[in-house]
Structure 1
Amino acid sequence: MTADSANKKRYYRKNVDFFKFVEKLKLWPSRAGTLHGIKSMIIRGNRAEVITHCNETFEILNSKHSRAARSLRNKLFFQACSNCKIPDWKLKKYSATYVNQNYGTRL
């Protein structure tokens, strides 16, 4: 990855489907403020089963107004999970991503 593409700002729409947004980012914030990397995601209707790289499995709901959705949009996390081993380039790309109401990719 070149230095120019790492600093490039990315814009996504705020009102896109939450599951598509999570699949694109491949990141999940825990309640404690730790950012986990997603290994796989199985969508079953309005729910999805998420498996992280540290082998945690949990079920999430398709809600744009949830705690996790707000955390992902506002980039609220304290640290990256040491077991997931999220690379630095991915954290830089995530920090350069902006979610906007009227501008950006519709995924």
Structure 2
Amino acid sequence: MKESPSKTKPPKRRFYRKRVDLFRLIEKMKIWPSRKGLLHGIKTFEIMGDQARITTHCSQTFMVGNSRNSRAARWLRNKWFKGACPDCGVPEWKLEKYASTHFRRHHGSLLLPDD
């Protein structure tokens, strides 16, 4: 039996370290904040050394550098965005999961790779 949408539990709170690498964070979240403040869904993410090629669901492709202090890293940590990209179709559950994510300096996952 399915529950009605009003009776569902709030999303589980997730904690990540604040100073984690941008590439690890993007691989985990699959979201990219554009300069206009829109959140884009990531279709492909290819790491090439200290650079990565990101392709969004709205067919935009660009290269990004791995920096903890970059605009994108700060916007992801501080949750600065105006909305989701209408062309990417970021689902509501992903936005709720993103909103329930907390970044702490001494507490949370380091997002270590599974080697």
TM-score by length of 1: 0.94
Q: Which residue of 1 aligns with 2:45?
A: 41
Q: Which has the larger radius of gyration?
A: 2
Q: Which residue of 1 aligns with 2:65?
A: 61
Aligned residue among 73, 80, 87 for 1:76: 80
Q: Which residue of 2 aligns with 1:87?
A: 91
Give the residue type in structure 2 aligned to 1:62.
N
Q: CA deviation at 1:9?
A: 0.6
Helix, strand or coil at the partner of 2:20: coil
Helix, strand or coil at the partner of 1:35: strand
Aligned residue among 13, 19, 22 for 2:17: 13
Give me the whole-angstrom Cα distance separating, in 1, the residues matched to 2:67 and 2:50. 9
Structure 1 portions without partners, runs of 5+ = none
Give me the whole-angstrom Cα distance separating, in 2, the residues matched to 1:99 and 1:22. 14
Moved over 3 A (4+): none
Give the residue type in structure 1 aligned to 2:47.
I
Q: CA deviation at 1:38?
A: 0.3
**What count of residue pairs does the alignment treat as equivalent?**
105
TM-score by length of 2: 0.88
Give me the whole-angstrom Cα distance separating, in 2, the residues matched to 1:38 and 1:46. 19
Structure 2 portions without partners, runs of 5+ = none
2:12 is equivalent to residue 26 of structure 1: no
- Give CA deviations for 1:29-61 in whole Å, capped at 9, x if unaligned: 000001100001000000000000000000000
Give me the whole-angstrom Cα distance separating, in 2, the residues matched to 1:37 and 1:79. 12
